[in-house]
Amino acid sequence: MNSPPLLDGTNYDCWKSRMSAFLKSIDSKTWKVVLKSWEHHVVFDADGNMTDALKPEEEWFVAEDELVLRNSKALNVLFNGVDKNMFRLIKQCTVAKLLMKVLLR
């Protein structure tokens, strides 16, 4: 299967099972980002305390890049796995796990 299952608003239970299998078929890490979520990386101050400032992408470590790549893959699949009406509900989502929560409503 090359394209994700399509959610039309009436087939959520079937879609959810098929979508989880589809995401897992990409790789387990892509599925895990839907389960565990992803947050934008932040800057730490000189004492090692987390700040509210977002870390610029060009300063991300390889591991941080991998996490955002997994989130992007999951978002791509999920955006392409819904019809136009469902897409309107999720088009502003930037985190795959939060996107799934929106669809649960």
In a domain, 40, yes or no: yes
50-105 per-position pLDDT tens digit:
999 999 999 999 999 999 999 999 999 999 999 999 999 999 999 999 999 999 87
The whole-model pTM stands at 0.87
The total domain count for the chain is 1
In a domain, 7, yes or no: no
Task: Indicate if the pLDDT at residue 1 is higher than 60.
Answer: no
**What is the domain range of residue 41?**
12-104
Compute CA 27 distance to the chain's CA centroid, rounded to the nearest angstrom: 13
CA 74 to CA 58: how far, in whole Å?
22
In a domain, 59, yes or no: yes
Q: Are 16 and 92 in contact (CB under 8 A)?
A: no
Task: Indicate if the pLDDT at residue 21 is higher than 70.
Answer: yes
User: CA end-to-end span of the chain, whole Å?
Assistant: 28
Average pLDDT rounded to a whole number, residues 9-20: 94
